[in-house]
Amino acid sequence: MQAPASRFVDLSQEISAGLVTYPGLPAPVITPHLTRADSRSHYSEGTEFAMDTITMIGNTGTYLDSPFYRYDGGVDLAGLPLEALADLPAHVFRSEQASGRGIPASAFDGRDLNGTAVLLHTGWDRRFATAAYANGAPFLTGDGARALVAAGVALVGIDSLNIDDTESGGERPAHSLLLAAGIPVVEHLTGLSGLPDRGARFFAVPPRVRDFGTFPVRAFALLS
């Protein structure tokens, strides 16, 4: 008897020691605090534990940006309401075959996106953790971000290096517009090809860290 297909689709990159998510940022370091062997002297026979420490920048793996990341005084990770992060209707927009790198406002024409998680499927995640991931990555244009703000979206995610064009200098219009409107951004998604264009529910919840702007999430979708 064939096992039923899972209703869950994992959309997160795996984090491991030494992982390079964004070139130039530090990779996570994992070190033992208490090894299994050392723990045996603290517990009854046959009982052991491993306790480890991870040191990493918040921009590691698949992570979520809160308004605090961009704006002093913006809502931090601890202040984000669950309603903005979980059980959101997902609308997937696909640009794998697009001739240009920038995703324009016209990509969202004719869609009612109020309260949705807009997920930008570019296919760039195939290059994750390789040298090719850093250059020529797709991004959301400023006009595209402006259109999503006007549409009242709840969250925007992308399976690429950055929501913005990191090769255009220091401008970051997508981050600036979306986060100013209180719309969280999720970057470095993966597996969006496993979702339908509409009908899935999206989840990307970080821990409640005060005065912190961005943190890894276990992003996933629930299929109907």
User: Which of 23, 220, 31 lies closest to 132, judged by CA?
Assistant: 23
Q: Are residues 82 and 20 in the same domain?
A: no
Domain assignment present for residue 9? The answer is: no
Domain presence at residue 2: no
Model pLDDT for residues 196-208, shown as the tens digit of each residue? 999 999 999 999 9
Beta carbons of 209 and 76 less than 8 angstroms apart: yes
pLDDT band at 3 (very low <50, low <70, confident <90, very high): very low
The domain total for the chain is 2
pLDDT digits over 145-187, tens only? 999 999 999 999 999 999 999 999 889 999 999 999 999 999 9
Note down the domain range covering 28. Answer: 14-55
Whole-number pLDDT of residue 97? 76
Query: Model pTM?
Result: 0.94
pLDDT for residue 141:
97
Q: What angle do CA 75, 119, 184 make, to 5 degrees?
A: 5
Instruction: Identify whether residues 126 and 110 lie together within a single domain.
Output: yes
Torsion sign across C-alpha atoms 183, 62, 136, 98: negative
How confident is the model over 5-64, as pLDDT tens digits?
A: 679 999 999 999 999 999 999 999 999 999 999 999 999 999 999 999 999 999 999 999
168: tokens are 């255009």
Asked if pLDDT for residue 91 goes beyond 50, the answer is: yes
- Is the domain of 101 the same as that of 51? no
Q: Establish if 95 belongs to a structural domain.
A: yes
